[in-house]
A and B are shown apart, each in its own frame.
Chain A
Amino acid sequence: MLRCLPALTLALFLGPVAAGLLGTILPAFGYLPALGGERLSLEPWRQLLAAPGIASALRLSLVTGLLSTALALALTILVFAAGHGTRALAQAKRCMMPVLAVPHLAMAVGLAFMLAPSGWLVRLLSPWLTGWQRPPDLALVQDPYGLALILGLVVKETPFLILMTFAALGQVRAQQHLRMARSLGYGPLCAWLKVVLPAVYPQIRLPVYAVLAFALSVVDVAIVLGPTAPPTLAVLVLRWFNDPDLAMRFQAAAGACLQLIVVVAAIGLWRGGERALAWLVRPWLVGGGRGGSGRPARLAAWTGFVLLLGLALGSVLSLAVWSVAGRWSFPAAWPDDLSLAGWSRQLGAVAAPAWTTLSIGLATTSLALLLVAGCLENESRGRRPGRGALTLVYLPLLVPQIGFLFGVQLLLVRAGLDGTWLAVVWAHLLFVLPYVFLTLADPYRSLDPRYARSALSLGKPPWVVWLQVKLVMLLRPILIAFAVGFAVSAAQYVPTLFAGGGRIMTLTTEALSLASGGNRRTVGVLAFTLAVLPLLGFALAFALPAWRFRQRRAMAAA
């Protein structure tokens, strides 16, 4: 049973991804018999290349994807280089969890509420500082350069990279290397950059690529914060998939393939950039320059970090305030009156999708946790497939969602499963499982095997040892993995859309259908609920073990 789990997990994954890719690539070359495409041709590509706005959409996707990833990585590096070993950094880790938990869409909507020309920031500064009695005619969100989109992605992706870096640091003996470098006379910042970064970067390379692939192909954030005319490539492709003119499906499939090519090319470009940079900085690396106290960099890092945290916090707060706002005219910094009318009016509208979000999230995450824990246990008993094969579960994070979900949808339609709750659970699993794996693998692998061995030597059967010793000792990481998985599920937009056939409505799909223009109070209610559900999950993940192990000092939080 346990032996089959890894194979089953990989089959659940690679099969659909491969089939989905095929189901997207064939129509891109004109083959989709159901729609009358029975011959391979390049016509869809010709249409694609002639489509209005395609060149600017492509450029926009590349610029926002690469730049946001580079900025998020730079900020991550700066925060660690400037703050390694400080108490502040340890606290920063605690602040990152909630930011990570809030789904992208909720954060994006909140950011839009903050940053818009009539948003909270401008209101707070008007008219006393700016002199604006009316909102300025400036494109502060949905700007043609995609700056707001970049900012939104940086706010969400930096916490992810920071947490991934924390995990990776444990594996590279950063502390000792840093001590060594400083005893050789290196300033703290310089020591981190020259000694720790080269060791830690290979460990976070995969998460960085996942962030890059995500940023290049994200849909929901791009709809809210990105420019509309033209939008990013992924949004454009999604529009074509939804076009009532069926012939557009071929062009859309070609667009999805282009999206795939863009991601592969960007990752290749990034890899090339890594190598070029490593080669370029070699002389600097061994040139003996010791760097200074790093105080200016420390200041920059904390400014950036506090700004980022402030934006994240302000976003969620602005969702909350709009959800209870009565009349709120510009440039008032606070609503003229507060009322719960929005909540009472929308209770019905929120309850159903909230329940759907909850049930799908719980089911998906439980399933993912079961599979991941099973795979890791199998691995810890030394059976194949080992680590190498299991890294394949990260594949869905690197392939753009839109690149294979169309093919997946065709499969589901054929099986008569589209639009069912089960189909959505399974589609979410593709994205939840890798994150659960990412979160749980390290703690699981580093649990001292002697605990289990000594329990076994006491005559307990393996299943009992697994349940009563290992899983209990791993309760905290398991619950955190659960909270992460739930947050990922709650945030899914494109998979819900394609697998749910529009019938399965979660908080994310509901919020997005209103985000582009609905009443801010309603959007506030939906997006705030969307933000709070995963936060509750994280709160539970921290509170439960604290209560369970309240008299076990060795099980205290790290």
Chain B
Amino acid sequence: MLRLSTIAALMLIAASAARAGAWDDTLAEARGQTVYWNAWGGDEQVNAYIAWVGEQVAARYGVDLVHVKLTDTAEAVGRIVAEKASGRNGDGSVDLIWINGENFAALKRQDLLFGPFTESLPNFRYVDTAGKPTTLNDFTIPTEGYEAPWGMAQFVFLYDSASVPEPPRTIPAVLAWAKAHPGRFTYPAPPDFIGSTFLKHVLIELTPDAGVLQRPVEEADFAAVTAPLWNWLEAIEPHLWRQGAGYPASGPALQQLLDDGEVDFSMAFNPADASAAIETGRLPPTVRTFILADGTIGNTHFVAIPFNAAHKAGAMVVANFLMSPEAQAKKQDPGMWGDFTVLDVARLDAPDRERFDRLPRGVATLPPEALTPVRLEPHPSWMTGIEAEWLRRFSS
């Protein structure tokens, strides 16, 4: 293991001299390409940011970026798999894909990704791989250069402080609160990623030895480990919004319910989401955020390039731009999106550091010290079974 990584390091050093020239070639090749970026399109702020990226890469590198808006990243994964199956090994329809977790694991396992390529992106050197280990380990799966990090996420709960003075901060307390306030709590229906992540929190907190979740599910007794999760979910179901007869379709749908006052809580994978929504009138100004006493899951989201992408050079140019200090600072601006950076800000040049220091913290955003501890994602193999079981139990 050690030997392998040493060899890899040596190869990298050898390659670095050639790298500058190689990158110029990539830039030249990318010019004039149209990059189809398949990315979840369910949030208008994210869409606006992607549109901004499109303008930037068009102006700077002559790359025409098209945002293919997905309702679920699995759609694009399915498309890549289908293209492989029908023998379409070049000229694929997906050039770049916003991805992490299960979807990445699935594509990587089936050798459907192009790479490794992240090391060859000039901006990768600013990434805080030491301080933010999830930039190299996606849901416990080593990225190995097959996906480039572009944002940090941490799960937070949103609540309306006007109607909930003191939010529950443990999973059992959530159940007690729901019992006391029937119809005022719910979560998005898995496999929506917010909904699935909520289940992970329940699972982690109710599993005595959380370490078992870091290993593939095959090494554990699925039924025994997940039993407390199902007990908890079944206990809370009758007290949920609509008695559990329906679940919101996504995180934004849940947020709309909070805005309408149909429920008292929402969830987001971005600590700054609430502030941005208050800013634009999409949530009442009294909304605040909190995390569980034992912390919440944090992870990194990435972009990857399918094995058969038609415009790999253009895709790499976009991936590299996404990691640039400028693009990262723009993304972290609560007025834009508020998504946290993957970079090590301390290592940046003064002007670039300045970009981050200038950013305001929103009214509902927790300070960094309040966002700890950060919990790790379980091994992705767990969620396949859990999502299927959830559908079986609560969706029929």
A and B physically associate: yes
Interface residues of A (CB under 8 A from B): 34-36, 52-56, 116-118, 134-135, 137-139, 142-144, 227-230, 241-246, 249, 326-330, 337, 341, 345-346, 348-349, 410, 413-414, 416, 418-419, 501-503, 505, 509-510, 512-514, 516-522
Q: A349-B51, A502-B76 are in contact. Are A513 and B69 (CB under 8 A)?
A: yes
CB A133 to nearest CB in B, in angstroms, measures: 8
Q: Using Cβ atoms and an 8 Å threshold, which residues of chain A touch B47?
A: 349
Asked if A117 contacts B42 (CB within 8 A), the reply is no
CA distance A520 to B257 in the complex (A): 11
Within the complex, which residue of B250, B261, B284 is in contact with A516, where a contact is CB–CB below 8 Å? B250
Closest chain A residue, CB of each to CB of B384: A245
Asked if B245 contacts A139 (CB within 8 A), the reply is yes
Q: Using Cβ atoms and an 8 Å threshold, which residues of chain A touch B395?
A: 52-53, 228-230
Q: Using Cβ atoms and an 8 Å threshold, which residues of chain A touch B251?
A: 517
CB B297 to nearest CB in A, in angstroms, measures: 21
Q: Using Cβ atoms and an 8 Å threshold, which residues of chain A touch B106?
A: 244-245
CB A321 to nearest CB in B, in angstroms, measures: 14
CA distance A518 to B255 in the complex (A): 9
* 14 A-B pairs whose Cβ atoms sit less than 8 Å apart in the complex: A34-B86, A118-B257, A138-B242, A243-B78, A244-B78, A245-B106, A346-B44, A414-B86, A502-B70, A502-B75, A512-B71, A516-B71, A516-B249, A520-B256
B396 interface residue (CB < 8 Å to A):
yes
CB A172 to nearest CB in B, in angstroms, measures: 45
CA distance A56 to B42 in the complex (A): 28
CA distance A118 to B71 in the complex (A): 24
Within the complex, which residue of A35, A117, A242, A419 is in contact with B75, where a contact is CB–CB below 8 Å? A242
Q: A118-B262, A330-B261, A518-B42 are in contact. Are A229 and B256 (CB under 8 A)?
A: no
Closest chain B residue, CB of each to CB of A509: B69
CA distance A418 to B69 in the complex (A): 17
Within the complex, which residue of A116, A243, A249, A519 is in contact with B282, where a contact is CB–CB below 8 Å? A519
Q: Using Cβ atoms and an 8 Å threshold, which residues of chain A touch B82?
A: 35, 246, 249, 413
Q: Using Cβ atoms and an 8 Å threshold, which residues of chain A touch B71?
A: 512-513, 516
Closest 4 CB pairs of A and B: A517-B253, A118-B260, A53-B396, A137-B183
B36 interface residue (CB < 8 Å to A):
yes
Asked if B69 contacts A510 (CB within 8 A), the reply is yes
Within the complex, which residue of A54, A246, A328, A519 is in contact with B252, where a contact is CB–CB below 8 Å? A519
Which of B38, B81, B396 counts the most chain A CB atoms within 10 A?
Answer: B396
Q: Using Cβ atoms and an 8 Å threshold, which residues of chain B touch A118?
A: 257, 260-262
Scan residues 267-310 of chain B and give those whose CB is less than 8 A from a CB of chain A. 280-282, 284
Interface residues of B (CB under 8 A from A): 36, 38, 41-44, 47-48, 51, 66, 68-72, 74-79, 81-83, 85-88, 91, 93, 103, 106, 182-184, 189, 241-242, 245-257, 259-262, 280-282, 284, 388, 391-392, 394-396
Q: Using Cβ atoms and an 8 Å threshold, which residues of chain B touch A144?
A: 245-246
Q: Using Cβ atoms and an 8 Å threshold, which residues of chain A touch B85?
A: 34-36, 246
Q: A329-B261, A513-B71, A517-B254 are in contact. Are A418 and B93 (CB under 8 A)?
A: yes
Asked if A242 contacts B74 (CB within 8 A), the reply is yes
Q: Using Cβ atoms and an 8 Å threshold, which residues of chain B touch A246?
A: 78, 81-82, 85
Q: Using Cβ atoms and an 8 Å threshold, which residues of chain B touch A243?
A: 74, 78
Within the complex, which residue of B68, B87, B245, B396 is in contact with A52, where a contact is CB–CB below 8 Å? B396
Q: A56-B396, A503-B36 are in contact. Are A228 and B249 (CB under 8 A)?
A: yes
Asked if B51 contacts A348 (CB within 8 A), the reply is yes
CB B158 to nearest CB in A, in angstroms, measures: 14
Asked if A52 contacts B392 (CB within 8 A), the reply is yes
Closest chain B residue, CB of each to CB of A502: B68
CA distance A35 to B83 in the complex (A): 10
Q: Using Cβ atoms and an 8 Å threshold, which residues of chain B touch A139?
A: 242, 245-246
CA distance A34 to B88 in the complex (A): 11
CB B21 to nearest CB in A, in angstroms, measures: 33
CA distance A87 to B54 in the complex (A): 56
Q: A413-B86, A513-B42 are in contact. Are A137 and B78 (CB under 8 A)?
A: no
Asked if B396 contacts A503 (CB within 8 A), the reply is no
Q: Using Cβ atoms and an 8 Å threshold, which residues of chain A touch B394?
A: 229
Asked if A517 contacts B260 (CB within 8 A), the reply is no
Asked if B396 contacts A329 (CB within 8 A), the reply is no
Closest chain A residue, CB of each to CB of B240: A137
Q: A229-B247, A242-B72, A503-B68 are in contact. Are A135 and B262 (CB under 8 A)?
A: yes
Q: Using Cβ atoms and an 8 Å threshold, which residues of chain B touch A143?
A: 245-246
Asked if A228 contacts B247 (CB within 8 A), the reply is yes
Q: Using Cβ atoms and an 8 Å threshold, which residues of chain B touch A516?
A: 42, 71, 249-250, 253
Q: Using Cβ atoms and an 8 Å threshold, which residues of chain A touch B81?
A: 244, 246
Q: Using Cβ atoms and an 8 Å threshold, which residues of chain A touch B43?
A: 518
Asked if B249 contacts A517 (CB within 8 A), the reply is yes
Q: Using Cβ atoms and an 8 Å threshold, which residues of chain B touch A521?
A: 282
Known A118-B261, A510-B69; 9 more pairs at CB < 8 Å = A52-B391, A53-B396, A118-B262, A135-B260, A228-B249, A244-B78, A244-B103, A413-B88, A519-B256
CB B346 to nearest CB in A, in angstroms, measures: 34
Closest chain A residue, CB of each to CB of B69: A513
CA distance A139 to B251 in the complex (A): 19
CB A527 to nearest CB in B, in angstroms, measures: 14
Closest chain B residue, CB of each to CB of A142: B246
Q: A118-B260, A244-B74, A502-B68 are in contact. Are A514 and B246 (CB under 8 A)?
A: no
Q: Using Cβ atoms and an 8 Å threshold, which residues of chain B touch A418?
A: 93
CA distance A243 to B254 in the complex (A): 23
Closest chain B residue, CB of each to CB of A246: B81
CA distance A501 to B395 in the complex (A): 28
Q: A53-B391, A242-B72 are in contact. Are A517 and B189 (CB under 8 A)?
A: no
Closest chain B residue, CB of each to CB of A249: B82
Q: Using Cβ atoms and an 8 Å threshold, which residues of chain A touch B259?
A: 329
Asked if A514 contacts B261 (CB within 8 A), the reply is no
Q: Using Cβ atoms and an 8 Å threshold, which residues of chain A touch B247?
A: 228-229
Q: A502-B38, A510-B69 are in contact. Are A228 and B93 (CB under 8 A)?
A: no
